Structures are given as C-alpha cells and as structure tokens.
Amino acid sequence: MVRILSLLSTGLFSVLLLGGACTVQGEGQPPKADDQGSGGEGGDQGDGGRDATDDPSESTDSTGEGGTAAPSSGDGDESGDGNGNGTGGSEPLHVTIQLGQVKQTIAGFGMADSELLEEEADALFGQEQGQIALSILRIAMDSNGQPTRDDLTWVAVEQAKARGVQTFIATVTSPPGVCKSNAEVNNGGQLIQECFELWSNGIAAFPTLVKDETGVDLLAISPQNEPDFASCGDAEPCNGSFPSAVFTGGDYVAFLKVVAPKLKANDPPVAVIGGEPSQWGRLWSDASATGSEPSNLPSPDPFNCGIPPTLCDPTDPKDGYDYGHALAGDPELWSAIDMLGTHQYDSQKATPWPSDVTDKKPVWMTEMSGRKWWPEQGPSNHIENGVAVAKWIHDALTVGEASAWLWAGYRSVLDDNGGLVAPDGSPTKRKWTLGNYSKFVRPGYKRVQVQGNAPAALLVSAFKDSQGNLAVVVINEGSAEISLPFSIAGGTAPTALTPYVTSQTDDLAEQTRLLVADGYFTATFPALSVTTLSGRH
C-alpha cells in the first residue's frame, strides 16, 4: 500500500548458477534431455517435469480462494495447460526460446520515491557492477496538491534523473477530508460528487508543479491509489491508518470521465493510469484475497462483497470493485485510458487479462512489497525471500502480462519486508533478485514465448530487444541444482550468454560465459537461486 514514507531501496537480485558450472552441449547438435522425470499422463505433475508455457492465453484461469488466479509456473509447451502441469510422460526435458513469438513490451522496473543517500541512489538507479539499474520512479500527490514527501520528493526525482531515469509516474493518495464522505483524509471514505471538478483540477495541476520544480515531464498519473482499500488501523490484517479513499467501479468511472480530459489537456499530455487496486483480482472482479498470517483472515473489504463475493452484483458497476470491466464498459472513457495499474498485495498473484475485454491496454504493476500480516512479511533478508519476490515478478510478467513492475519503498516503516533493505538498513536478497530483472530486461525489451518441458522447480521467462540482445531469467525454487538444455529458435541467437546469479552466497554475481552452439546450450542452476542469462550483440 502507498504509505508514502521512506521505503524503496532497489537492489539487484543476484542470479546463481551453481558455482557457475554451466556446460555447453555438443557443437551444432540438439541437447539431450536430463533424466529428471517428466509430466504424468493427462497433465499431472511428474517428478521432474513441468510445462514451461508463459502465455496466459494458453492457460486455464484457475481461481483459488478469494477469486485470484493461480500463479504461472513458467514458460512452455503449447500442448500443456499453462499452469505448470506436464504434457505427457515421454516428453524430454528441454526448453525452446521462441524469438519470433512476441508478447508485451517492457516499460521497465522501478520503485517509489524514497529518501536516499547518494550512494544508495547509485546502487538503485546506476548501471555499473553492484547496481540494479531501476528505470522508473513513482511519486505521490497528497490531499493538498503537494508531493507526499514535500521537497524530499523533488530531491528523489533529481537523483533518479541524474542517473538516467526517464520514466516518472504519479499516484494520488486521497482527496481532502472536506471532499470525502468520512470527512477525513485517512481511513477510506468516498469522494463526494460536489468535489469532482475541484479535485480533478488539483490532480490536473500536479504535472505542471512537477515540471516547474524538477524539469521532469510526468508520463502518467493514477487519479486514485488503491480505490479498493480503506486504511483501517494496525490490527491484523490492516497495516496502519494513512491517506486513502475508496470508489466503486461505477463511481470511479464517473470521476475519471471528469479528470481524464484535464490530464490530456496538459502540455505535454499526461497519460491516464486506470484502476490501480491493491489486489490484482479486484481489477477484474469483486473478489477479495484471504490468508493473512497468523489468523487466516480475509483482506479488508470496504464494499462488503464477501468471500466469495456473492453480496455484490457483478452486473452493477456501482456495487463493488471490478475496475477494469467498469472502465471497459464505457468506450469513450476506455479510449482515454492509456494503461491499467494494479498492485499485487494479499493474494500475491497476477490475474490474466479476461477474454471478454478484447481491446487490451498495457498493464503496469505499480506497487508491491512484503506487507505486514501477509506471506513473506518478514522481516527477513535470506534467499528464500529473494526467490519468493522473483516469483511475484515472474507471475506478473507471464500471467498478468505486466509491462512494468515497481517495488514500494527503500526502507520499511514497519517491522516487515516493506523495504528493499531490512528495517535495520542491512541488505536483502530481494533487492538483488529484483535486479536480475531490472538490470537486464531493459525498457523497450519484449517478452518472448518460452516453450517446452522444464523441471518442476524451474520458472523460465525470456526477453529480447530490437538489437538482438537477449535476457533469460531462470528461478530455481528447489533444494537441488538443476541442469536444463535450451534451444533458441525464430531468430538469431547470441553466440554466448553470461550468467548473473543471486543465491544465498552470491549477489548478482557474474559467472563464466556460456557458448551457444547453433542455438543450443545447457545451463546448470544452483538450488534456491535466480539466474539471468544475458546475451548481447
């Protein structure tokens, strides 16, 4: 949630190839599959094999408790079910990176503005060794029309700009209390209709303020951060009282019809981020997550839709959440929406784009962290947490088809995993596993299809740019090292790939180069690690 405080630290998540022990398969010959088992008949999971598909259009939307989609298991064979299940007992272990099958364009990876020392800004936004090269900064506007951290926000913008960041976005925390049904800035409450014009004018003026103070043009604004969430105190499952406001899907549409044209009238026009709920599931439904720790409670549900959400009418946009369908149901407004925003809290899973909305928009996951009361709340800095965060990113990119993924803040204000560094300021593995993506999957890269049969513990995704550069990110969530043969098809393969490993002992550590022979290679991935294979032309 946006507790716009001094959170966000970025760090490169290291990728680990067991001791760098990657071997190359024979010259020009297809690799032989490792004998690690394969998927069982009828798609059942085998001992070692899993479908590696990362294409949500080929997957079944498996809805679990709270109505959120099951996580992707990786990239893979089109004959699989897309949910990580094997495709037959005889299929060998082998993954093909299909350069000609292009998915979404990546806008970048980033974080919210935070109070940073200069060396911390270097580590987050720099592109040198030991830096994770974040490329997006998100700031927030408060109820008074000013940035939430006042002049410190301008400092953060200047720090990011000086290190090459070109993409700046903003969100809005809450309308003024006098414009809300609960008469206060904190703890939810709805924007009253009489304030639509006044508050939309304030939001539309914010990009000019940013430009005057920093010289930066905002790319986009979300007119309300987490319109599905009312802050609610400190008891489980809540995490504080802070500026927030709630909108039903219908009320959200009504307000965006007022504010969107004003944002577009700026010079240059400012893109509109629609949605941005706290849970991905509420972008496309009225469902809420459940499973807080330790009491297994449901998420706060300000519109009382219930679990399952039978108390809200899915056909009535004024009754519940479902912001994506509400926006898409107004064709004129939908044409003014440039991207859909969402967060990944509570369920910690992405939701696929629904088949009943055919005019797709880019999806930006604009805030995530290890929030108090939910899995991975910590505090922790071990590799298990780093791998868990990498799996969040993988799920967002492959199931949710996200174009951007942002962390919440550098330092946590609570005793949890809200920051990229631990509450005491010590480094964490999640910073480096984020770096496994952010440093190598650069703005403008496109995700490409990965097909085949991967060992059950591996998650694989791949990305290319227009110059022929390639980044393959492999997560090994298992307790043993795994070798896997790869082939590269549908385009020109790089002649070599350099592994960068994050593990319990390595932080985005460069390993020995792997030669690629006629598009084939085999790599070995250490236990509990994230590895980026980077090939540059």
Q: What is the pLDDT of residue 164?
A: 97
Q: What is the pLDDT of residue 54?
A: 58
- Name which of 13-22, 89-98, 174-183 the model is least confident about: 13-22
**Is there a domain that residue 356 lies in?**
yes
User: pLDDT digits over 193-245, tens only?
Assistant: 999 999 999 999 999 999 999 999 999 999 999 999 999 999 999 999 999 99
**Is there a domain that residue 182 lies in?**
no
Looking at the 3D structure of the chain, how many domains does it have? Answer: 1
User: pLDDT digits over 408-425, tens only?
Assistant: 999 988 889 999 998 888
User: pLDDT digits over 49-102, tens only?
Assistant: 455 655 544 433 333 333 333 333 334 333 333 333 333 345 899 999 999 999
In angstroms, what CA-CA distances link 281 with 14, 296, 299? 30, 18, 12
The domain in which residue 516 lies consists of: 1-130+272-537
| 210 and 139 Cβ atoms separated by less than 8 Å | yes
**Is there a domain that residue 248 lies in?**
no
**Is there a domain that residue 80 lies in?**
yes
Q: What is the pLDDT of residue 393?
A: 98
- How large is the average pLDDT for residues 120-138? 97
**Is there a domain that residue 175 lies in?**
no
What percent of the chain stands above pLDDT 70?
Answer: 83
- Find out whether the peptide bond into 207 is cis, omega within 30 degrees of 0: no
Q: What is the pLDDT of residue 27?
A: 29
| DSSP per position, 414-425 | SSSB-BSS-TTS
Residue 353, pLDDT > 50, answer yes
| DSSP per position, 71-117 | PP--S--TTS-SSS----TTPPSEEEEEEEEEEEEP-EEEEE-----
Residue 141, pLDDT > 60, answer yes
- Name which of 67-81, 262-276, 500-514 the model is least confident about: 67-81
Residue 21, pLDDT > 70, answer no
| DSSP per position, 116-185 | --HHHHHHHH--STT-----EEEEEE-TTSSBTTTHHHHHHHHHHHHTT--EEEEEE----GGGBTTSSS
**Is there a domain that residue 257 lies in?**
no
Residue 517, pLDDT > 70, answer yes
**Is there a domain that residue 201 lies in?**
no
Average pLDDT, the chain: 86
Q: 3-class SS at 258?
A: helix
- How large is the average pLDDT for residues 310-320? 94
- How large is the average pLDDT for residues 308-316? 95
What percent of the chain stands above pLDDT 90?
Answer: 80
**Is there a domain that residue 517 lies in?**
yes
Residue 173, pLDDT > 60, answer yes
Partnered with residue 112 across adjacent β-strands are 138
